[in-house]
Amino acid sequence: MLPPREYHDLAYVPGGDANQRLDQIAPALSQYATPLAPVIVWIHGGGWEQGSYHQNPARAMAAHGYAVASIGYRLSSQAKFPAQIEDCRAAIRWLRAHSSEYHLDASRIGVWGASAGGHLAALLGTASAHKAFDVGDNLDQSSAVLCVIDSFGPTDFLQWGDPPVPAAYNTPNTALARLLGGPVADREALARLASPVHFVDKDSAPFLILHGEKDPIVPMQQSVVLDAALRRAGVESTLVIVPGGGHGGASFADPKYLSQMAAFMDRHLRKPAASTR
């Protein structure tokens, strides 16, 4: 069997920041069931202030006939929100604009992210109609995705845990404050704009959401409220609570969860192509 084809440090913003790049792994051409491969986009976590697109746990999906793109984005020390979602959408548009070059099926793109990456993946799946997030090149291409796997990502910055928004959350010494440029109390409009749950409507993408029962960083409530909002809007959503699970870790690598994620992607990215929004 031929090895996957790999491309590294592809600049999706010409002349841009070092983090405005992506790695891409594609099945060997002999493995294609069709001439073009559906695409899974991975978005790394790290509190919007660390992490790297070179770390790509989704790469194993290339063995199942997917192209897997791991995208970087400007960190909060470099640029404040909405730079991060602007970068993610620019990367999606770039992949579509270069789909023929890399044998990608531009009509079948799904996204998966964890923690801060889960937040950005959720925004991709809910806020596609918010065109202000589309800036830069390839604006003739859609930045919409067909499905989302959100692993323990924040979703509502105006309602954080129970009780909502504890006092310690409204300080300048949090990862979120560094993302927004100040605490939520001083950035409420921007915090709402950054919250995927506030964009949910009937046109949102289908979601598979995973969250640890004992997550000490992102309250489980964040996934519960997103799941509920999607269901109210009539959108497919499955919430999986990982018993005893924390903020990521080995419990999420259980084969039953990996199989569930693979089946979810297969169901939405292998079906007849739908028009992108």
Distance CA 208, CA 270 (A): 16
**Segments of the chain assigned E as strands:** 5-11, 21-26, 37-43, 67-71, 104-114, 147-151, 207-212, 237-242
**214-231 exposure pattern, b = at least 16 Cβ within 10 A, e = fewer:** ebeebbbbbbbbbbebbe
Distance CA 110, CA 183 (A): 32
- Provide the residue ranges of all domains of the chain, joining segments of one domain with +: 5-269
Q: Classify residue 48 as left (phi > 0), alpha (psi -120 to 50) or beta.
A: left
pLDDT tens digits for range 102-119? 999 999 999 999 999 999
Q: What is the pLDDT of residue 276?
A: 52
Q: Which CATH superfamily is domain 5-269 in?
A: Alpha/Beta hydrolase fold, catalytic domain (3.40.50.1820)
Please provide residue 31's backbone torsions phi and psi, each rounded to the nearest 5 degrees: -90, -10
In terms of Cα–Cα distance, which of 96, 95, 125 is closest to 113? 125
Q: What is the pLDDT of residue 49?
A: 97
Low-confidence ranges of the chain (pLDDT < 70): 1-2, 29-34, 164-169, 271-277
Which run of H or E residues covers position 222? Answer: helix 221-232
Q: What is the pLDDT of residue 253?
A: 87
Distance CA 55, CA 49 (A): 15
Q: What is the pLDDT of residue 28?
A: 74
Q: Is there a contact between 212 and 242 (Cβ–Cβ < 8 Å)?
A: yes
Q: What is the pLDDT of residue 27?
A: 77
Q: What is the pLDDT of residue 272?
A: 58
Eight-state DSSP code of residue 181: T
Q: Classify residue 39 as left (phi > 0), alpha (psi -120 to 50) or beta.
A: beta
Strands 207-212 and 37-43: unpaired
Q: What is the pLDDT of residue 242?
A: 95
Q: What is the pLDDT of residue 273?
A: 52
Q: How many CB atoms lie within 10 A of CB 86?
A: 21
Q: What is the pLDDT of residue 34?
A: 56
Tell if the pTM clears 0.85, that is, is over it.
yes
Q: How far, CA to CA in Å, does 49 sit from each of 32, 79, 181, 186?
A: 37, 10, 12, 20
